[in-house]
Copies of this chain bind each other. A is one copy, B any other.
Amino acid sequence: MDIIHTPDEMQRWSDSVRALGEKIAFVPTMGFLHEGHLALMREGRRRAGALVASIFVNPTQFGPSEDFARYPRDFERDCEMMEEVPVDAVFAPEPSAMYAPDAQTWVEVTEVTRGLCGPFRPGHFRGVTTVVAKLFNIVKPHIAVFGEKDFQQLRAIQRMVADLNFDVEIVPFPIVRESDGLAMSSRNAYLSPQERERALALSLALRAVRDRFEAGACCAEELVQTAKCVLRRTAGVEIEYVEAVDSVTLERVSSIDRPVLVAIAARVGRTRLIDNTVLVP
């Protein structure tokens, strides 16, 4: 497994792989890998001859009051896990190799980033789309795999790829869950044992939504209230939002008359968690 630290070296690596006619799959991550990341990597492995993963905690997608400094990091353990997949090349730059002091270019996707997490994390999606545009130009992949846990991020990236004509196929991958239902996330590491128990409320709320939907409920407001009731039942869970939106435009809907994303963001202690499900009528 090659470990690469500079954009230039990564570009030359990918050029040489492309010159052999090999397809490159790419999985961008912020590291502190879990089974969810590994599932994305295995999907990339399956779809291409060469597999690149990146480990980069991107400062520009964190707000000033967010958890950039304390975001969990363990590069050695990450490398051991990636060897197992196996990953062919890891791109792990320092922030200074990614952002020049006079950098001043932003890639911004406007509409799909407006709702859901947008108002709660100003600048977040701009940071994400900018760094993913950079990573695509550095890694030059044919396909890139993104998890559906960060559903709004997935839609922003799909929009960016279409709008800016990136010749990269975006492969969405279903949420990977712990055996009790909790969506896997590097931020789960922040949870105390008690918080870990409480965090189950998110997936339980979505389970309740699915059950009601399957029992015939198709009013968006009713389903949102169903989720909120479950969440409110658990002490120490503070709802940021529960929304039902069109699964493509992410605009609010009033009924489930097309594929609808039901998305939750909530705080459990200091930890912000998200989860979602798509209802297809």
Q: List residues of chain A with CB under 8 Å of any chain B CB.
A: 7, 11, 18-19, 21, 100, 102-112, 129-130, 133-134, 137-138, 140, 159-160, 162-167, 249
Contacts and interface: CB of A to CB of B under 8 A. Distances in A.
Given A19-B21, A137-B164, A167-B11, A110 B106 contact: yes
A136 to B, nearest CB: 9
Contacts of A167: 11, 137, 140
Given A19-B21, A104-B110, 17 more contacts: A102-B111, A102-B249, A103-B162, A104-B111, A104-B112, A104-B163, A105-B107, A105-B109, A105-B160, A106-B108, A107-B164, A108-B108, A130-B164, A133-B164, A134-B165, A137-B164, A137-B167
A138 B163 contact: no
A144 to B, nearest CB: 14
Given A19-B21, A21-B19, A103 B163 contact: yes
Nearest to A167: B11
Q: Which 4 A-B pairs have the closest CB atoms?
A: A105-B163, A137-B165, A104-B110, A104-B111
A164 to B, nearest CB: 5
Contacts of A108: 105-108
A163 B100 contact: yes
